[in-house]
Structure formats: structure tokens, C-alpha cells
Amino acid sequence: MAELSSIARPYAQAVFELAKDSGHYGPWSEELEFLATVTADKDMAALFSNPRVSRQQAADIVIGLLGEAVGDEPKNLVRLLAQNHRLQALSAIAEQYEILRAEAERTIRAELESALPISDEEQHRIAGALKTRLGREVELVVTTNRELVGGAVIRAGDLVIDGSIRARLERLAAAVSA
């Protein structure tokens, strides 16, 4: 996986520079997500590794599937990636692009996993507290996980706040067995 990350970095940076020049980060996010979804299919992965399929044919197939869903620049990216045997890196490119975009827009995606549903009011309060703590706009994604028993876990970048009952029980069990 580290290899794909290294391969993806210069492509993501180049796409980010294109988006920055135009001031339109959103369309590239959507197009990269769509490209990543199309190329992540297991049949597509088999196609990319088939020695009987030329680089040009692989690019033509992907572009044909995309139709009018993406513009000319993303199609050119597909051609470039196919030429360099890098189509399998599109998911990693999309991920790295989103990191660069979030940094430029001073935003962060935070995941709130709780044992019970969280009200909208509580979600806004938590997002506000994270915004204050992190100094960025926060996009809060909320999921429910009954395995937590109670409490919640928040993940935002490198920050992890684990206030779940499950984690407390695990710490207690470790302390008792030590």
C-alpha cells in the first residue's frame, strides 16, 4: 500500500494544482471519486493486469465507461495513468487529493461512532467543540455501533478520543490481569 501511496502523490499534487488554479476543488473531488470507483472494480483490475490489453485499450475502455460523467481533464488523466501503468492508483490519488484539498480549505472530516443515536443538537455541539480544538471547519460523519456498549469514539485525522465503555472495560481487564 505504501507503494501506491508513493505512486499517487505526484499525480494527486498535479491534479490539486489544476484545481487550485481554477479555484474549483469540488468538481475534481467528484470526478476522482467516480474514477476511483470505476477502476476499483475487480474486473477492471483484471483488465489492467492482462498482458493482451494494451495501455491505449485500457484507457479507451475506462473513458468509454465514463462517458460524459467527467470532463476532458480527468479523461486526460486516465490516458496518462494508463500510459504509465498507473490506473490502479486512482483510489490512492483520490485519497491524497482529498487530503490536499482539506488542508487548503482548512477543513477536516471527523468520524463520530456512538453506541446510541446522537441528536442533531449534540452533533452540532460536538462539531463546534472539534472546530475550536482543531482550528478547522469540521465535517462530522456519524455512525452507530452497538458493540461500543456505551459512549462514543471520535476520529479526526491523527486525533482519536475514545470515550466508549468497551475501551474502559478493556483497560480495566488489562489492569486486573497485569
Domain boundaries, the chain: 2-102, 107-177
pLDDT (tens, 9 = 90+) of the chain, 178 residues, equals 458 889 999 999 999 999 999 888 999 999 999 999 988 888 888 888 888 989 999 999 999 988 888 889 999 999 999 999 899 999 999 999 999 999 899 999 999 999 999 999 999 999 999 999 999 999 999 999 988 888 999 999 889 999 888 888 888 888 898 7
Beta bridge partners of 111: 141, 155
Strand order in the sheet with 107-114: 137-144, 107-114, 152-156, 159-162
Q: Could you say which architecture CATH assigns to the domain 2-102?
A: Orthogonal Bundle (1.10)
Model pTM score: 0.72
